Amino acid sequence: MIVVSYVDNIAKNTYDTLAASDISSFLSADMAVAIKPNLVVSCPASDGATTHPEVVKGIILFLDDFGVKNIKIIESSWLGESTKRAFKYCGYEELSSTFDIPLIDLKKDSSTAYRYDKYKISVCNEAMNADFLINVPVLKAHSQTRMTCCMKNLKGCIPDADKRKFHLLGIHKPVAALNMLVKTGYCVIDSICGDLSSEQGGNPVASNRIIAGRNPLLLDSYCAELIGYQPDEIKYLTYGREYGVGEYISKDTKIIVRNSEKKPTLDITRNRTNEKYQRLIDEDAACSACYSSLIYALHRVKGKPRIDGKILIGQGYKGKSGAGFGVGNCTKGFSKCVPGCPPKATDIISALK
C-alpha cells in the first residue's frame, strides 16, 4: 500500500497521509519510536537536499495523537559535516524545543557489528534499539547511485567509518544488506522539492508530494519511475530484491492518491532549476508534480528530445486539440500525448526518445 498526498500545508498533509495509511497496523502507543530524516548537509530543505522539518512535525503530531510518547529524532550527516550544525540550520532545534523531543547525533552513538551475506556492518545502537523506525528520506537524485530515497537513507544509521567502507565496497550491495539488518517500521518520503542531479542540493525541482508506505524497496521502485529510472537501473534496488527486502511496484500495488484536486500550480519564477529547459516547453498553468516529471525526463535525455516543436504542458490545454507533443492528461487532445496525472518520468523519457 502506498499513499500519495499533494501538499498545500506540509505538516497537516503529512499528518493526513499517515492517517490514511496502514501505519496503525504496525504501530502501538507503547513503542519507542525513532524518526530518521535526511540531514546530509546544513542546508534548508528548499535547496532540495534535506527533509523539511514540517514533514517531521506532521509525523510527531500524528504520533502524539496516536498515544506515542517515547519519540527521538536520530541522524548522522555525511562525512565531514556536523550533525549538530545540520540540526540547527535545517530547523530541527526549534522542532525539538517545541515538542520536547531529543535530537540524537548518531556520530556520537555507540554501535554494534552485525553480519549479512558477506558484509560485516556496524549499526548505531539508537537505530537498532528503537521499537519502530520511521524513515523520512528526501526523494532526490544522487551523483553515484542515480537516486537516493528510503533504502539509502538508512546509511545515516551507521558510523562514519562504515560509510567510508560502503563506498570502497561499491555501495549498492552494502546498502541492500543494511536494509536487511535495520528494519524500517514505516517510510514517509519528502517529495516536495528534491534535487535534480545531486544529493547535496542546489537544483530543487518542485513536486509538492508526500509519499508513505511500509516497505522501503516497494516505495523506492515507485519513486525511481517518478524521476525517470526503471527500478533495475538503481543497482541497490536490484540487490534489495534479491536479498528479500521487498518487491517492486506492480499493477497489483494499492496506491491511494489524496488531494489530487489541490495539486499546486507551478510557480516557475521561484524555481531556477527549470530555466535551461524552458526554451523547450510551452507551459500553461501546469501542476508542479506534472512539470517536475517533465524536468526529470528532460534531464535524463540531456535536454535533447527527439520531437518537433515545443512540449505542451498544463491545465490551460484542457479541451484544446491540434498537432503537437503534450505531457499529462490535460493535453490529451493533441496528436501526441504522454498520459498521466502526473505521468511518470520514465514514460515521458520513452516518448521523448
pLDDT digits over 15-65, tens only?
A: 999 999 999 999 999 999 999 999 999 999 999 999 999 999 999 999 999
User: What one-letter code names the amino acid at 218?
Assistant: L
Statement: residue 268 has pLDDT above 60: no
Statement: residue 332 has pLDDT above 80: yes
Query: pLDDT tens across 276-322, in order?
Result: 788 899 999 888 889 899 999 999 998 888 888 899 999 999 999 99
pLDDT, residue 167, reads: 82
Supply 226's cell numbers: 517518478
Residue 240 to residues 58, 124, 246, Cα–Cα distance (Å): 29, 21, 7
pLDDT, residue 269, reads: 46
- With residues binned 3-state (H G I as helix, E B as strand, rest as coil), the percentages for the chain, rounded to 5, are 40, 25, 35
335-344 mean pLDDT? 94
Mean pLDDT, all residues of the chain: 93
CA distance 308 to 330: 20
pLDDT, residue 271, reads: 54
pLDDT, residue 197, reads: 83
Q: Are 74 and 135 in contact (CB under 8 A)?
A: no
H-type alpha helices, 233-287: 235-243
User: Could you give the domains of the chain?
Assistant: 2-260 (3.40.50.11440), 268-352 (no CATH)
Statement: residue 266 has pLDDT above 90: no
CA distance 131 to 144: 32
101-114 mean pLDDT? 98
Count CA atoms closer than 13 A to 160's CA, side-chain side.
13
Sheet holding 2-6, edge to edge: 103-105, 70-75, 32-37, 132-136, 186-191, 209-213, 2-6, 255-258
pTM of the model: 0.93
